[in-house]
């Protein structure tokens, strides 16, 4: 039987590559040495950072599936895929807990300045006097931009900190008890902490902008566990440099992993390297779902986690 040929289009963990190699003939776009293989490849696999545009798809006439290892798939031109009859799968749900845990970690780190306090002890500065006072997290207000699967997992954790939760999203959620604001700016004006957890892509690009930072104000903090693209990054840098806002906790950036030096030099930010879903347990669960999506496509059965745009086309 002819092998099933698959093209890897971005970095994915070695354990996922090993599993893929057991069932498929894998090609890596970086060192594909058999140009004819492009015609034989039936599926693509990549991480949430994978760029799959119309140009790439036009080189791959037989691709009918894109399996993304990640919940976000903003680098995939889903419209082009749908036009070519290509299914796009992703890994929603299995990473909610980890992303919400890291969001709480960033909230605590930013409010209580834990990384700076760690440096203070290591540097021996304590002998000269105590560490500065910080911001209380319990009982403060949290505005969540995007109250989907992960946003709700964050709200659950923040509730245990007695935080006053409110949110904005495309639609109001009548089944949830939190106050809804129709715009990010209106939400920012009401809260101590503004946290972004929407998808990336054109519909959210730059939605956290200068006006939003001005509304959040000099005592306000911004947390981003969504995508770098949801923020007007130059406006964020200026807001942090000029103390328009008090600080930020960031897991995502424009042009990762090359982080703007202006961000790296800011004293009032806590920075993590896009690790929100980065635990052994969750990356394994994401790999299993990405493999299950691919296996279902090959078997011609229902793909467990198609992206919503593809579900809408199939009417399921």
Rounded least distance, CB 79 to ligand A2R, Å:
16
Closer of 38 and 305 to ligand A2R (Cβ): 305
Task: Find the farthest-apart pair of alpha carbons in the chain and give their distance in angstroms, rounded.
Answer: 74
157 is catalytic: no
User: Which one, 27 or 199, has the nearer CB to ligand A2R?
Assistant: 199
Is the previous residue joined to 17 through a cis bond, with omega within 30 degrees of 0? no
Nearer residue to ligand A2R within complex by CB, 21 or 183? 183
Question: What would the DSSP string read from start to end of 133-176?
Answer: P----TT-EEEEE--SHHHHHHHHHHHHTT-EEEEE-SS--TTS
Which is nearer to ligand A2R, 38 or 310 (by Cβ)? 310
Q: Cβ 114 to ligand A2R, closest distance in Å?
A: 23
Would you say 29 and 9 are in contact if contact means Cβ atoms under 8 Å apart? yes
Q: Which of 27, 40, 90, 274 is catalytic?
A: 274
* Signed CA dihedral, 256, 260, 261, 266: sign only: negative
Cβ of 282: how many Cβ atoms within 10 Å?
Answer: 19
Q: CA–CA separation, 20 vs 8, rounded Å?
A: 10
By C-alpha distance, which of 113, 210, 203, 103 is closest to 153? 103
Catalytic-residue membership of 274: yes
> Would you give the end-to-end CA distance of the chain in angstroms?
33
Minimum separation from the CB atom of position 223 to ligand A2R (A) = 12
Q: Tell me the closest approach of the beta carbon of residue 101 to ligand A2R, in angstroms.
A: 13
Task: Say how many residues make up the chain.
Answer: 316
Residues that bind ligand A2R (CB under 6 A): 71-72, 92, 99, 146-151, 168-171, 197-200, 203-204, 226-227
Residue 54 bears catalytic tag: no
Nearer to ligand A2R, 6 or 289 (CB): 289
Residue tagged active-site, from 256, 264, 265, 281: 256
Q: Which active-site residues does the annotation give?
A: 227, 256, 274
């Amino acid at each position: 039987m002819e092998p099933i040929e698959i093209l890897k289009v971005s970095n994915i963990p070695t354990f996922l590559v090993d599993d893929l190699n057991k069932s498929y003939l894998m090609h890596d776009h970086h060192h594909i040495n058999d140009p004819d293989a492009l015609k034989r490849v039936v599926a693509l696999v990549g991480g949430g950072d994978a760029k799959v545009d119309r140009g790439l798809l036009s080189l791959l006439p037989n691709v009918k599936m894109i399996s993304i290892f990640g919940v976000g798939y903003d680098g995939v031109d889903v419209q082009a895929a749908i036009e070519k009859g290509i299914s796009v799968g992703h890994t929603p749900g299995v990473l909610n807990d980890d992303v919400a845990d890291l969001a709480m970690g960033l909230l605590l780190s930013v409010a209580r300045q834990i990384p700076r306090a760690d440096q203070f002890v290591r540097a021996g500065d304590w002998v000269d006097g105590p560490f500065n006072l910080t911001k209380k997290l319990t009982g403060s207000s949290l505005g969540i931009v995007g109250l989907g699967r992960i946003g709700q997992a964050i709200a659950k954790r923040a509730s245990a900190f007695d935080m006053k939760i409110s949110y904005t999203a495309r639609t109001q959620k009548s089944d949830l008890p939190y106050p809804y604001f129709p715009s990010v700016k209106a939400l920012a004006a009401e809260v101590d902490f503004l946290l972004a957890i929407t998808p990336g892509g054109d519909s959210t690009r730059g939605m956290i902008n200068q006006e939003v930072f001005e509304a959040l104000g000099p005592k306000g903090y911004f947390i981003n566990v969504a995508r770098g693209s949801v923020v007007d990054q130059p406006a964020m840098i200026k807001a942090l440099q000029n103390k328009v806002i008090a600080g930020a906790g960031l897991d995502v950036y424009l042009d990762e992993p090359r982080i703007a030096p202006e961000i790296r030099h800011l004293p009032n930010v806590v920075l993590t390297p896009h690790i929100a879903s980065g635990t052994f347990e969750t990356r394994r669960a994401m790999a299993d779902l990405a493999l299950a999506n691919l296996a279902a496509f090959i078997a011609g059965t229902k793909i467990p986690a198609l992206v919503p745009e593809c579900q809408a086309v199939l009417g399921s």
